[in-house]
C-alpha cells in the first residue's frame, strides 16, 4: 500500500503549543511517528552566565507558566542542598501547599484540553471554570495567577495567615465537590470511552523501559512518584501514588482526575499540620559543588542538575522536564492507530512544550 507522509503540527488546533510530528501512514493507519522540537526553544539554561544564582530563581520560574512554582522549588532545593541551608519547617509546608495547588490547576487545565481534543467543548469549559477557583487562591496568596514567584533560596517570600489557610480549605471543598460532579461524565460517558479506551497503550514493562514519568508512567501500573522521596514536607504527609493498570488514554485521564482529589487531601493535611515560625533564612556565601535534585511536577519527574564553582554565577544548569522524558513514548504509542486518534494520544501525555523548549 502506498505510504503517505503527513506533517502534524507545529500549528494544529489541538496543540496549545508548537510540536511537530512526521507521521507516515498507510491508508489512515499510522506506521511511523517521528517527533521534532525546537520551534520555540529559548535556551534559558545559558542565562546562568548572566544572572547570579539568586536571580536564576526568577528565570526558572519562567520555564513554564503552569508549573512555575515547582520549577523554582526544585531549583531552590538544589542550591539549598549544595549550600547546606536548613529551610524553615513552615516554608516547607507552604511549598507543599503551593505546589499541590499548581498540580490541581494543571490537571484541571489538562482535563479541559483533553476533553477539547475529542470535541467535548462543554466538559472543557466545566473543568476550566472550576480551575478559576484555584487561580483565585493563587492570586489571593501570592499576588499573581500564573507566575506566583513565592520561592527563594532559603525558603519562601510570602507567608499565609490562618484566615487564608481556612479560606483555602473552604475553596478546595467546593473544588472537590464540583470536580466530583464531572467524574461520571469523564469516566463513564460512552463517547469518551470510545475515544480513549485501548488507545495509545503502553504496557508496564514498556513504560519502565522508555523511562516514562508522572501520570503517564503510573497509568501503566508503576508506583513511581518523586514526592515519595519526602522533599519539602511530603515526608510528614500520608499519601500513596495513584495508579492505573491499562496504560491507555483512559487510564492516564483517570489517574490525573484522581490526583486532583489526592492534591486536595495533601493540602488539607498540610494546613492541619503547618507549624508556626519563620518562612525564610538569610543566605550567605556562594554555592560550590554539583548536585541533582528531583521533584514531582504535574506531568512527572522534574530533574535539575546544577554545577557551581563558588562564584555568583552557576557553572551549569541543566533542566530535564517531564515532557522531554515522555516524548520518546510517542514513537511507540502512535503506530497502529488511526490518524484521527493522534490528537487524543498526543494530548494524553500532557505535553508541555514550554517546559520542553526551556
Which residues lie near other proteins (CB under 8 A)? Answer: 3, 5, 7, 22, 24, 31-32, 34, 36-38, 41, 43, 45-46, 81-82, 208-211, 224, 226, 228-229, 289-292, 294, 301, 303, 305, 307, 315-316, 318, 320, 324-325, 327-329, 331-332
Smaller CB separation from other proteins, 230 or 275: 230
Smaller CB separation from other proteins, 111 or 226: 226
Least Å distance, CB 208 to other proteins, is 6
Smaller CB separation from other proteins, 188 or 240: 240
Least Å distance, CB 262 to other proteins, is 18
Would you call 272 helix, strand, or coil by DSSP? helix
Would you call 4 helix, strand, or coil by DSSP? strand
Smaller CB separation from other proteins, 73 or 325: 325
CA atoms of 208 and 303, how far apart (whole Å): 17
Least Å distance, CB 343 to other proteins, is 20
Give residue for cell 491508508: 27
Smaller CB separation from other proteins, 46 or 245: 46
Smaller CB separation from other proteins, 81 or 189: 81
Q: What is the 3-state secondary structure (H, E, C) of 318-331?
A: EEECHHHHHHHHHH
C-alpha cell read off for 304: 535539575
Least Å distance, CB 325 to other proteins, is 7
DSSP-assigned states of every residue in 61-73: HTS-STTHHHHHH
Would you call 306 helix, strand, or coil by DSSP? strand
Would you call 168 helix, strand, or coil by DSSP? helix
Smaller CB separation from other proteins, 121 or 209: 209
Least Å distance, CB 347 to other proteins, is 19
Least Å distance, CB 123 to other proteins, is 32
Smaller CB separation from other proteins, 66 or 213: 213
Contact 16/343 with Cβ under 8 angstroms? no
Residue 12 half-sphere exposure, CB side, CA atoms within 13 Å?
A: 18
Cα angle vertex 342, ends 338, 344, to 5°?
115
Least Å distance, CB 31 to other proteins, is 7
Q: Which residues pair with 297 in a beta bridge?
A: 300
H/E element holding 115?
A: helix 89-117
Least Å distance, CB 24 to other proteins, is 4
Least Å distance, CB 99 to other proteins, is 18
66-86 CB burial, b ≥16 within 10 A, e <16: bbbbbbbbbbbbbbbbbbebe
In 126-248, DSSP assigns E strands to 151-152, 155-156
Give residue for cell 489512515: 28
Contact 217/209 with Cβ under 8 angstroms? no
Smaller CB separation from other proteins, 24 or 185: 24
Amino acid at each position: 500500500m502506498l505510504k503517505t507522509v503527513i506533517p502534524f503540527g507545529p500549528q494544529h488546533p489541538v496543540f496549545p503549543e508548537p510540536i511537530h510530528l512526521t507521521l507516515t501512514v498507510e491508508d489512515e493507519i499510522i506506521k511511523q511517528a517521528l517527533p521534532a522540537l525546537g520551534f520555540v526553544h529559548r535556551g534559558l539554561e545559558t542565562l546562568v552566565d548572566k544572572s547570579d544564582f539568586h536571580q536564576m530563581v526568577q528565570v526558572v520560574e519562567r520555564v513554564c507558566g503552569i508549573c512555575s512554582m515547582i520549577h523554582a522549588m526544585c531549583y531552590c532545593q538544589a542550591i539549598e542542598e549544595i549550600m547546606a541551608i536548613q529551610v524553615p519547617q513552615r516554608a516547607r509546608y507552604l511549598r507543599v501547599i503551593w505546589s499541590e495547588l499548581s498540580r490541581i490547576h494543571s490537571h484541571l487545565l489538562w482535563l479541559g484540553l483533553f476533553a477539547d481534543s475529542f470535541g467535548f467543548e462543554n466538559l472543557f469549559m466545566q473543568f476550566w471554570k472550576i480551575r478559576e477557583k484555584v487561580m483565585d487562591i493563587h492570586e489571593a496568596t501570592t499576588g499573581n495567577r500564573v507566575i506566583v514567584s513565592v520561592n527563594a533560596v532559603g525558603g519562601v517570600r510570602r507567608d499565609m495567615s490562618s484566615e487564608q489557610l481556612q479560606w483555602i480549605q473552604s475553596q478546595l471543598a467546593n473544588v472537590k465537590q464540583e470536580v466530583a460532579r464531572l467524574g461520571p461524565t469523564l469516566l463513564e460517558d460512552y463517547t469518551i470511552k470510545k475515544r480513549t479506551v485501548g488507545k495509545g497503550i503502553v504496557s508496564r514493562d514498556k513504560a519502565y523501559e522508555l523511562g516514562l514519568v508522572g501520570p503517564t508512567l503510573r497509568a501503566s501500573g508503576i508506583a513511581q512518584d518523586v514526592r515519595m522521596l519526602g522533599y519539602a514536607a511530603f515526608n510528614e504527609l500520608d499519601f500513596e501514588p495513584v495508579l492505573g493498570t491499562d496504560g491507555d488514554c483512559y487510564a492516564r485521564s483517570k489517574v490525573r482526575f484522581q490526583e486532583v482529589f489526592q492534591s486536595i487531601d495533601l493540602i488539607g493535611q498540610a494546613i492541619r499540620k503547618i507549624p508556626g515560625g519563620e518562612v525564610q533564612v538569610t543566605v550567605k556565601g556562594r554555592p560550590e559543588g554539583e548536585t541533582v535534585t528531583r521533584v514531582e511536577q504535574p506531568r512527572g519527574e522534574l530533574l535539575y542538575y546544577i554545577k557551581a564553582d563558588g562564584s555568583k554565577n552557576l557553572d551549569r544548569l541543566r533542566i530535564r522536564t517531564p515532557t522531554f522524558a515522555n516524548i520518546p513514548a510517542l514513537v511507540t504509542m502512535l503506530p497502529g492507530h488511526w490518524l484521527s486518534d493522534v490528537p487524543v494520544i498526543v494530548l494524553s501525555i500532557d505535553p508541555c512544550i514550554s517546559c520542553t523548549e526551556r
